[in-house]
Amino acid sequence: MAEVLIQNGRVVDPSQNLDGQADIYIKDGVIQAVEPEISVSCGNIIDATGLVVLPGLVDMHVHLRDPGLTYKEDIFTGCDAAAAGGVTSVACMPNTNPVTDSPETLTYIRTKAATAHAKVYPVASITAGMKGEALNDFTALKQAGAIAVSDDGRPVENGRRMMEGMQKAYHAGLPVISHCEDLSIIRGGIINEGEISKKLGVPGMHRASEDSVTAREIALAHATGTRIHIAHVSTEGSAALVRDAKARGVQVTCETCPHYFMLTEEELLRRDADYRMNPPLRTEADRKAMLAAVLDGTVDCIVTDHAPHALEEKADFLKAPNGVVGLETSLAASLTSLYHTGLVSLSRLVELMSTNPARILGLNAGTLRPGAPGDVAIVDLNLTWTVEPEKLHSKSHNTVFKGKTFTGKAVATLLDGKLVYHYQG
């Protein structure tokens, strides 16, 4: 299948200010033309009548668990889940085993990912073994294929070390992504600290943990003239800090996940560990604040923080590890809660889920311009479906959206012009 013609779809691509009916011709994996009507003789036609055609989504916060934790997920299953969600590029976090802190591990990931159904861009750790001590050799890691650095899953606790890390990464030309958490404030908490944690009698994670480190990272980026990307923002306070920092010209960007603008800590009343993640679901005021931050441009990207954990691990509400899967539901959840409610245009949604993350990470993705890779998501905006965890492509089923009915779904996903996912109903 060296060529493909996608006909009669509504193409939405904010990178070229495009929202209208067009055909797309892809040859040898590369987009050749996007025109109102393309007449070429092509043996491979996809009829996208009634569907929308988007640049493949870019999820810049994913845990693929490979190497080392492949009972939860591996590169192939994680990428299958991505393809089923219209996601063609993922940035994978370094809390693997071993930690992604060496050229060897980066090479392992990139080699295995070469035949997977999504493009995998590894994030290397900031510190050796994610121990928060020695800084890695960012230039060597970049050469081996790292596209950003982060100790995600943990904060870099020492402020001086983070400051030096940000400067070193800046000189190496790598973005820094920060997981904002103060472990001394968290003290073993497992859900948001507040009414619900009290009611359940479980230790809480105080919002000041997230907010104080977000403030620190902004101060460090400002002081050093470097840039910082704040991961999984969940609180009203952190969103306000990012908004204010942007207004002051600090080079800060941030992301949030669908669960933070759709759900609240009330879900935890079920005592089901599938609703536990870090940072945790917060209050209704936070949910509303995150939604407002998505709407006013404070939030740059919608990501999943796709964090698969095995059924046995999630069985015990108190002891289960934090994290939820999300690759297969992020587009549907966002279409349902942001687009079908009239809050966000399709074009803005594509910015949040494709254009912006590609720009922040400097990836050759997030656009359908001629010359770009043929990474495409074909979406039925009106397809209604219910999330059945056991039907997900991921090895793990820890989704907060189990049983939820969404409107909108990727029905076909192309990677370099090749069909990697086709909705079967």
The interface partner of residue 75, options being ligand DOR, Zn ion, none and the CB cut-off 5 to 8 Å by kind, is none
Name the strands in the sheet holding 301-302, side by side, starting at the edge strand that comes first in the sequence: 177-178, 228-230, 252-256, 301-302
80 binds Zn ion (CB under 5 A): no
The interface partner of residue 142, options being Zn ion, ligand DOR, none and the CB cut-off 5 to 8 Å by kind, is none
Phi, psi of 106 (to 5 degrees): -60, -40
**Are 159 and 131 a contacting pair, CB within 8 Å?**
no
Nearest distance from residue 278's CB to ligand DOR, in Å? 4
**Are 354 and 366 a contacting pair, CB within 8 Å?**
yes
Q: Which residue is nearest to Zn ion (CB)?
A: 179
The Cα–Cα gap between 105 and 93 comes to 12
276 binds Zn ion (CB under 5 A): no
Query: Is-catalytic flag, 380?
Result: no
179 binds Zn ion (CB under 5 A): yes
CA 54 → CA 25, 58, 354, 376, 377, distances in Å? 14, 11, 9, 6, 5
277 binds ligand DOR (CB under 6 A): yes
**Are 209 and 182 a contacting pair, CB within 8 Å?**
yes
Which CB sits closer to Zn ion, 152 or 193? Answer: 152
Which CB sits closer to Zn ion, 85 or 155? Answer: 155
Contacts of 41 (CB under 8 A, 6+ apart): none
Question: Would you say the C-alpha torsion 11, 16, 19, 22 has a positive or negative sign?
Answer: negative
Best CA proximity match to 210, nearest among 256, 244, 248, 169: 256
3-state helix, strand, coil in the chain (%, to 5): 35, 25, 40
Nearest distance from residue 416's CB to Zn ion, in Å? 30
Which CB sits closer to ligand DOR, 233 or 350? Answer: 233
Neighbouring-strand partners of residue 378? 53, 412
Phi, psi of 20 (to 5 degrees): 180, 170
At 255, which amino acid appears?
E
The interface partner of residue 389, options being ligand DOR, Zn ion, none and the CB cut-off 5 to 8 Å by kind, is none
Work out which of 153, 237, 258, 357 binds ligand DOR, going by CB under 6 A: 153
Q: Are strands 252-256 and 301-302 parallel, antiparallel or unpaired?
A: parallel
179 binds ligand DOR (CB under 6 A): yes
Work out which of 3, 152, 193, 300 binds Zn ion, going by CB under 5 A: 152
Which residue out of 80, 305, 375, 380 is catalytically annotated?
305
63 binds Zn ion (CB under 5 A): no
Which CB sits closer to ligand DOR, 137 or 267? Answer: 267
Which CB sits closer to ligand DOR, 193 or 375? Answer: 193
Nearest distance from residue 109's CB to ligand DOR, in Å? 15
255 binds Zn ion (CB under 5 A): no
Nearest distance from residue 181's CB to Zn ion, in Å? 8
417 binds ligand DOR (CB under 6 A): no
209 binds ligand DOR (CB under 6 A): no
* Catalytic residue annotation: 305
Sites of contact with ligand DOR (CB under 6 A): 63, 95, 152-153, 179, 277-278, 305, 307, 321-323
Which residue ranges make up the site for Zn ion (CB under 5 A)? 152, 179, 231
